[in-house]
Structure 1
Amino acid sequence: MNAKRTAKRVAAMADIHIKMNDRGKMKTIFEEVSHEADVLVICGDLTDTGDEDEAAILAEDLRALQIPVVGVLGNHDYEKGRQKIIKQILMENKMTILDGESTVLADIGFAGVKGFGGGFDQYMLSIFGEDMMKSFVHEVVNESLQLERALTRLDQEHPEIPKIALLHYAPIQETVVGEPEVLFPFLGSSRLAEPINRGNVFAAFHGHAHAGTLEGKTKEGIPVFNVAMPVLRKSKSDKCYYMLKV
């Protein structure tokens, strides 16, 4: 990293779950964060039921932002099979949506995927048994490979800048603690941590685990933050976004 580089401020949130009656809900928050951060990250579940009209309501509020915004989609955004439309609406209204891609904003490299479940550490599901089980595990393997490729591209094209990984599902168990243990396999997978560890990532953000824990680290010591709105609300901060200097 360039020693002369000026630290940037990243604001992060997830699971905003915009509903049809939420018009204007995020406008004041976006105006505030524009004064406090250099870039905003939103880690999935942008809509509540995966409806494009919900995305349009969020798009209206995004116009209040004076800084770049980047994020990924979450499982709720896939609910009605309209995720491509949701992505298009938000991309046309200031927001960069990553799905196996990477981008550079505010002198920081961002690589993002939705991620998927599969469990953590010694309890990870394996590619074994029925075709349905293999398909389940293949989904998170593919998401992990996409994240790996996106991080590799950043390394090749911008080796001098810090990298941040964006996901909806958790890459470590530590930040889902607080949820019922029976749900852990559906909240994330350690497979998602593998490219983060190999990619020399500065930090990773995710959401999804509403009753989880704010902070954790991968086995290689990479900071991971669960920035789901319910998690941020129960933290000591009075903000509905997490601030990180990068």
Structure 2
Amino acid sequence: MSDKPKTIKVAALADLHVKDTPEESYRDLFKEISGTADVLVLAGDLTDLGKPKQAEHLAADLAACSIPVVAVLGNHDYEGGEEDRLVAILEAAKVHLLDGRHVEIEGVGFVGVKGFAGGFGRFMLSSFGEPAIKAMVAEGIDQAMRLENAMRQVRADRAVVVLHYAPIVETVAGEPPEIYPFLGSSRLAETIDRFEVSAVVHGHAHRGAYQGRTPKGAPVYNVAAHIEKPTGRPYALLEI
């Protein structure tokens, strides 16, 4: 008998931006995904303005999803200052919301944080100067540390990292270069590369590129709904 673990299919999608009066229902899409994948991952910006009503609309659509759902919040989900209510609504809908935590599903550890801005490589913002700049850098470092602490708890042989902000510059290419520092941070990739990671998914960069790799080779996928994907659908389908 082979000891090779079962391959699972992960559907990954970000930036739904559900509004007060939804322009479209995601019920049919979630039904489709349920027949195609083993796990659905939502990589942030679940709502447009972080309003509980928007989260309720999403929760209602997720009732059509018959597979486990894993998610992180994005920057838009914090806009209304009611992120705790959003979390409560979505967790009541049986969504595994990750914020420096992990969950194991079918032998794969899913680890997630929102991430934060800060820039990439030698252009990454440093903690120098005004308190506001230092606070911004400190937030990015905190997100990276939360990710590292969660990764250290994973016992599964395979791990998928779920972010909203990008960990590498390759998957934001296509956006205006002037806003690259606000789309992610290499600090996230530095943390990821301390571990064996099967895949990384993120959103946020609506006009970015679909695929890249961390410096040590972990595959990274920009799964924003607006990005063209090999499936020809709004979601990516990854075999883990």
Normalised by the size of structure 2, how large is the TM-score? 0.97
Q: Secondary structure at the match of 1:229?
A: coil
Task: State how 1:1-246 maps to structure 2 within 5 Å.
Answer: 3-22=3-22, 25-154=25-154, 158=155, 160-231=156-227, 234-246=228-240
8 A Cα contact 1:39 1:106, kept in partner = no
8 A Cα contact 2:168 2:184, kept in partner = yes
Which is worse superposed, 105-114 or 176-185? 105-114
Q: Measure, in 1, the Cα distance between the counterparts of 2:86 and 2:224.
A: 20
Q: Measure, in 2, the Cα distance between the counterparts of 1:139 and 1:187.
A: 14
Q: Secondary structure at the match of 1:244?
A: strand
Number of aligned pairs?
A: 239
Q: Measure, in 2, the Cα distance between the counterparts of 1:104 and 1:236.
A: 26
Q: Measure, in 2, the Cα distance between the counterparts of 1:101 and 1:73.
A: 13
The structural deviation recorded for 1:194 is 1.2
Percent identity at matched positions?
46
Q: Secondary structure at the match of 2:104?
A: strand
Q: Measure, in 2, the Cα distance between the counterparts of 1:134 and 1:19.
A: 34
Q: Measure, in 2, the Cα distance between the counterparts of 1:107 and 1:11.
A: 16
The one-letter amino acid of 2:78's match is Y
The structural deviation recorded for 1:189 is 0.2
Gap regions ≥5 residues in structure 2: none
Q: Secondary structure at the match of 2:174?
A: coil
8 A Cα contact 1:9 1:245, kept in partner = yes
8 A Cα contact 1:62 1:94, kept in partner = no
Cα offsets for 1:52-72 (capped at 9, x unmatched): 000000000111111000010
The structural deviation recorded for 1:22 is 1.6
Cα offsets for 1:128-155 (capped at 9, x unmatched): 111100000000100000000000111x
The structural deviation recorded for 1:105 is 1.4
Q: Measure, in 2, the Cα distance between the counterparts of 1:5 and 1:70.
A: 21
Q: Secondary structure at the match of 2:153?
A: helix
Q: Secondary structure at the match of 1:225?
A: strand
Q: Measure, in 1, the Cα distance between the counterparts of 2:85 and 2:125.
A: 32
Cα offsets for 1:149-168 (capped at 9, x unmatched): 000111xxx2x420011100
Q: Measure, in 2, the Cα distance between the counterparts of 1:162 and 1:211.
A: 29
Gap regions ≥5 residues in structure 1: none
The structural deviation recorded for 1:23 is 7.3
Change (3 A) 1:242 1:58: same
8 A Cα contact 1:204 1:222, kept in partner = yes
